[in-house]
Amino acid sequence: MTIEATTAEPTTAEPTPRRSSGSSWLLCGGCGAMLYERRFARDGRVCPDCSWHAPMTIHQRLDLLLDADSAQPVDVPAIDGDPLEFTDTRPYRDRLRDARASTGLDEAAACARGTIDGNPVVVVVMDFRFLGGSLGATVGEVFTRAAELALRERTPLLTVTASGGARMQEGAIALMQMAKTSQALGQLDEAGILTVSLITDPTFGGVAASFATLADVIIAEPGARLGFAGRRVIEQTIHQSLPEDFQTAEFLLTHGVVDLISPRHELRANLARLLSVSSRRAGGIPRQAGRAGPVLVTDPELLPRRDAWESVRAARRLGRPTTLDYVDMILEDFTELRGDRMSADCPALVAGLGRLDGVPVAVLGTQKGHTADELRYRNFGMPTPAGYRKSARVMRLAAKLGLPVITLVDTAGAYPGVEAEEQAQAVAIAENLRLMAGLPVPVVAVVTGEGGSGGALALAFADRVLMCANAVYSVISAEGCAAILWKNPAAAPPAAAALRVDSRELLRLGVVDGVIPEPDGGADADPAGTAARLREALRGALADLLPLDQMNLVTRRRARFRQFGVAAPAPVTAPAPSGDARESQPDRNVEATR
């Protein structure tokens, strides 16, 4: 049966392997190659020639993802109702009966408990063979009960989707399942429980517009299609020519919708890393970092005086470690998350989850590069609005899961192009600042190279702000300042000195809380040594911040930034004993910020 007969959002039925005349051979649904059935099954039903990922049944999917013998089915009785007494070319009840007979399933989705590399998880798996994986009352109930089980047991929820959309034969009752399942995910958000969606081909309509895309992390199989309206509907309705890769996982990754594309042989490892960061296993995940040795310099008099322009030049050297370099050297189990879930993924900003010496953390950082090609691809480390929105998404996820946030800053500033202004660059930066001001988890920021203007500050509103010895941090680049005030870009060296951009001066001003010494010759001369010092500085900062409760964290962070530009604590004037009540309102506002 094609998907058009069963769903509200028509699309093309998914391809399946066709059996050749010999019983042990299949024809690939992607390239048409001959596939030996047993080898095809051992390879996870992936074609070795074209990497086409064939559909999987619910049982095949559970066997692929869960640890051996860990699956425990969760029984959700099928709802046999036919609320509309629906008949098209055949009665709906007959279609249900035939689907059950042909698939051996009660419905298009099933739920199970299990573990992935020892990490507990509740899994909902959909099967396209059952009426196109359409979302009806029973599928909605299966998902909702799974979410309620995950909530009770405080266990991550994984959903594997394969659907053409809402089930037309159940009318508005099927439509209501979109709200019902979305509401269930909202409760998991409130409880701080990780949700992961695995998109398989195809996922459309009501499923795509509800629980498939509301998860914290969205993983897609290669080539999987995801969208609200199918390609044919769009072409026939608005007569628009669409790209060849339209709605595929690769298209969606570029446009910021999915976090990563994972071939089947990597799925378990990718899922295990994500689950290990959030699972609350017996024995617990280490929540305390060990205290560091005396790595940080907190007294500016202990730092050598340096020429400010030389500091600028040192901060910009191409050999300095980038965010991804540091991630590779100091983190374990890192999973990069991509996309702003709106329109794009910004390569200039890296974000993801990992562990710092066992402590689960979220890491954000601007990314430049070491070669001309990488610099161009990474936009020279200048984030677009999509980059700041991606960072905000991951910070909200960190707040939900209770993970400390580490930011690594090395950027000349936010991208100043026309496209950035069209996409509200200023708004994206402002939203990040407001978000970080109230983030209920520890935040540690490190300026590792250039800290340029609001584009840098958008990642550095933190409880603890550190910088590397050769880094710089300023309201504007030295060249920009020289061009505006000196009317001569060549006056950058005196502008740098006037701006006091170097680590010694910034520590003296209280803009940063500590300076991480660099090895002789700078960070680029000894990246591993620099990374070791960075790790120790971060461990020490987290050791101080992790014991603090949310109220103390936020109050102290706001007080830290409240004092800039104030010679002494801001006075609090007692309310006037009489007169218009509005006269005392500013005083109450001042009190509320202290």
* pLDDT higher than 70, residue 8: no
The pLDDT of 376-384, averaged and rounded, is 94
pLDDT tens-place string over residues 14-55: 566 766 555 688 888 888 888 888 899 888 999 999 999 999
Per-residue model confidence (pLDDT) at position 231? 84
Per-residue model confidence (pLDDT) at position 570? 52
Of the candidates 378, 195, 355, the one whose C-alpha atom is nearest the C-alpha of residue 276 is: 355
* pLDDT higher than 60, residue 376: yes
Question: Residue 232: pLDDT band by 50, 70, 90 thresholds?
Answer: confident
Per-residue model confidence (pLDDT) at position 81? 77
Q: 362 burial class (0-12, 13-18, 19+ CB within 10 angstroms)?
A: buried
Per-residue model confidence (pLDDT) at position 533? 95
Residue the block writes with tokens 């044919």:
232
Of the candidates 163, 150, 143, the one whose C-alpha atom is nearest the C-alpha of residue 114 is: 150
CATH 1.20.1090.10 fits 55-278, yes or no: no
pLDDT tens-place string over residues 480-521: 999 999 999 899 999 999 999 999 999 999 999 999 999 989
Of the candidates 408, 417, 421, 411, the one whose C-alpha atom is nearest the C-alpha of residue 381 is: 411
Per-residue model confidence (pLDDT) at position 279? 57
Question: Residue 591: pLDDT band by 50, 70, 90 thresholds?
Answer: very low
Question: Worst-scoring range by mean pLDDT, 187-191, 211-215, 354-358?
Answer: 354-358
- Between 229 and 545, the more confident residue is 545
Per-residue model confidence (pLDDT) at position 484? 93
Q: What is the DSSP letter of 483?
A: I
* pLDDT higher than 70, residue 589: no
Tokens representing 83 are: 């609320």
* pLDDT higher than 50, residue 117: yes
DSSP 484-524: IIIS-GGGHHHHHHHHT-BHHHHHHHTSSSEEE---TT-TT
Per-residue model confidence (pLDDT) at position 19? 60
Strand, coil or helix: 200: strand
Question: Residue 287: pLDDT band by 50, 70, 90 thresholds?
Answer: very low
Instruction: Please list, residue by residue across 113-144, b when 16 or more beta carbons sit within 10 angstroms of its beta carbon and e when fewer do.
Output: bbbbeebbbbbbbbbbbbbbbbbbbbbbbbbb
The domain spans of the chain are 17-54, 55-278, 300-548, 566-594
Question: Residue 294: pLDDT band by 50, 70, 90 thresholds?
Answer: low
Question: What is the rounded CA–CA span in Å between residue 148 and residue 151?
Answer: 5
* pLDDT higher than 80, residue 1: no
Instruction: Please list, residue by residue across 190-218, b when 16 or more beta carbons sit within 10 angstroms of its beta carbon and e when fewer do.
Output: eeebbbbbbbbbbbbbbbbbbbbbbbbbb
Tokens representing 337 are: 């998350």
Length of the chain: 594
Hey, which residues does 26 pair with through a beta bridge?
A: 19, 35
397 half-sphere exposure, CB direction, 13 A CA radius: 29
Q: What is the DSSP letter of 291?
A: P
Question: Residue 290: pLDDT band by 50, 70, 90 thresholds?
Answer: very low
Q: Full-prediction pTM beyond 0.85? A: yes
* pLDDT higher than 80, residue 246: yes
Per-residue model confidence (pLDDT) at position 468? 97
Q: What percent of the chain has pLDDT over 90?
A: 78
* pLDDT higher than 70, residue 588: no
Question: Worst-scoring range by mean pLDDT, 78-92, 289-303, 352-366, 430-444?
Answer: 289-303
DSSP 211-249: TTTSSSEEEE-TT-BEESS-HHHHHHHH-----TTTTBH
Q: CB of 395 within 8 A of CB of 187?
A: no
| Distance in Å from the first CA to the final CA of the chain | 66
> 192 in the Ramachandran plot: left (φ > 0), alpha (ψ -120 to 50) or beta?
left
Domain spanning 300-548 has what CATH number? 3.90.226.10
* pLDDT higher than 80, residue 582: no
Strand, coil or helix: 377: helix
Per-residue model confidence (pLDDT) at position 239? 82
Considering the chain, what is the average pLDDT of its residues?
A: 88
Q: CB of 447 within 8 A of CB of 468?
A: yes
Sequence-separated (6 or more) residues with CB below 8 Å from residue 61: 125, 160
Hey, which residues does 3 pair with through a beta bridge?
A: none
Per-residue model confidence (pLDDT) at position 584? 39
* pLDDT higher than 50, residue 593: no
Query: Is the fold of 55-278 the same as that of 300-548?
Result: yes
pLDDT tens-place string over residues 325-364: 999 999 999 999 999 999 999 999 999 999 999 899 999 9
Per-residue model confidence (pLDDT) at position 21? 54
| Own/partner pairs, 243-252, CB within 8 angstroms, 24+ separation | 248/223, 248/224, 249/199, 249/220, 249/221, 249/222, 249/223, 249/224, 249/225, 250/222, 250/223, 252/220, 252/226
Question: What is the rounded CA–CA span in Å between residue 370 and residue 376?
Answer: 10
Cα–Cα distances in Å, from 575 out to 123, 207, 272, 562, 570?
A: 58, 56, 57, 21, 15
Strand, coil or helix: 456: helix
Sequence-separated (6 or more) residues with CB below 8 Å from residue 20: 26, 27, 34
The pLDDT of 441-451, averaged and rounded, is 97
